[in-house]
Structure formats: structure tokens, C-alpha cells
Structure 1
Amino acid sequence: MHRSRVYALLVDAPRDEAEGAAAFWSAALGVPAETYAPEPQFTDLHGALPGLVLAVQAVDDAPRFHLDIETDDVEAETARLVALGATQVNRWQECRILRAPGGHLLCVLPVESAPEVFDAEAKTWP
């Protein structure tokens, strides 16, 4: 058995437009924007979605939105989602990048949230 939960909504913006996108979403939602130092391609929009992370991610691709799902077992959660119809398209660090039916991207990553948040909100899967 493993557990998972939606952790974040990412606003993917082309690299040369990411700074403007972060400024726009920060002002539009009335929240501060802060570059995430360990991974500077991410700009957190603190407090925009209570209970979830909202961030702008600079990408070398088209603009889109994608979900991050955090889990205590990346391999098991990836296998569960693939069994539901997703396809794995790439890996980045410990994360798995999947494409869901309908074409939307999502990432499966190790637990990032505080343990008490993950314990309270994660669903348990067989």
C-alpha cells in the first residue's frame, strides 16, 4: 500500500516569459512571488491556493498547467496511474513525468509537504 495527494498546480511558462507570468499571477491573485532557491526555474505564489502549492515554472515548451502528485512510493504511484491510462514520458531527478488521457501532463514526486499535512490529506491505495 502507498499514499498520494495532489501537492501543487504549476503554471508552465516559456522560459523567456516566466518572469512576466510570475509577476502577472502574483498581482492577479494578490500574493507574493518568490523564486525557489534550490530550483530557480520555480517561482512560488505563496498562499494563492490554500493547502496546495501554486508556482510558475519556466519551461522549454508551450504554456500549460500541470499537477504535481506527491507520494510515499513514486514507483507504485506511477504504476497506479499508468494502469489508469497515463503514459510515462520522462524522468526528472526523482520525479516521473506522465501524460494523462486527454494529453495533460502531471508529475509524480516524493513527498514534499510537511509530514502532518501529507498524513492528514493523502489517500491510501492498495
Structure 2
Amino acid sequence: MHRSRVYALLIDTPEADAADAVAFWSAALGVPAEPDSSHPQFTSLHGALPGIVTAVQSVDDAPRFHLDIETDDVEAETARLIALGAKQIARWLGCHVLRVPGGHLVCVLPVESDPELFAAEARVWP
């Protein structure tokens, strides 16, 4: 048995457009933009979606949105999503990157949120 929840919505933006995207989304959503000092490719948009981390991520790829799913068992959650039709395409910093039916990306990562929030909001899977 393991637990998981949607942790973050990432707005993936080509590097050359990242600063403009951060300014746009910060103003459009009416929230502050704060660069992540430990991971400079991320700029947080605090409070954009209550309970969900929202950030602009500078990428070497096409613009898109993707979800991060946090879990207390990365291998089990990855296997569950693969059984539902996802395909693992990469690993990055301890997370599994999956392409799900429809072509969207999902990253499965260890629990990042406050343990109490995770315990209160995570779904339990057999």
C-alpha cells in the first residue's frame, strides 16, 4: 500500500522565454514570483493554486504544462501509473518522468510537501 497526491503544476517554458513567462503568469494570477535558489530553472508562483505548488520551469524543450505527483513510494506509484498506460521516458533528480496517454508529462517524486499536508490529502493505493 502507498499514498500519492498531486504536488505541483509546472508551466514548462523554453529558456529564452522564461523571464517573460514568469512576468506574465505572476501578473495574470496576481501572485508573487520567487526564484528557487536551489534549482534556478524554477520560479515559484506562490498562492496561484491553493494547496498545489505552481511554478514556471525553464526547459530546453517546447512549452507545455506538466504535473508532479508526490508519493511515499516512488517505485509503486510509477508502476501504478505505467499499469494505467503511462510510459517512463526518463529519470531526473530522483523522480521518474512519464508520458501519459494524451502525450502529457507527469513526474513522480518523493514527498516534498509538509508531512501533515501529505497525510491529510494523499490518496491510498493498494
TMscore range, shorter length: over 0.9
- 2:58 maps to 58
* 1:37 maps onto 2:52 in alignment: no
Q: Percent identity?
A: 75
Distance 1:70 1:5 in 2: 6
1:16 is matched by which residue type in structure 2? Answer: A
RMSD: 0.4
Unaligned runs of 5+ in 2: none
- CA deviations 1:9-41 (Å, max 9, x no partner) are 000000111111011000111100000111010
Amino acid at match of 1:48: A
Instruction: Quote the Cα distance in structure 2 between the aligned partners of 1:117 and 1:88.
Output: 27
Describe the superposition over 1:98-119 as per-residue Cα deviations: whole angstroms up to 9, x where unpaired: 0001110010000000001000
**SS in structure 1 at match of 2:9:** strand
For 2:110 and 2:19, locate their aligned partners in 1 and report how far apart those are by CA, in whole Å.
27
Name the counterpart of 1:115. Answer: 115
Runs of 4+ in 1 over 3 A off after TM superposition: none
Give the structure 2 partner of residue 81 of structure 1.
Answer: 81
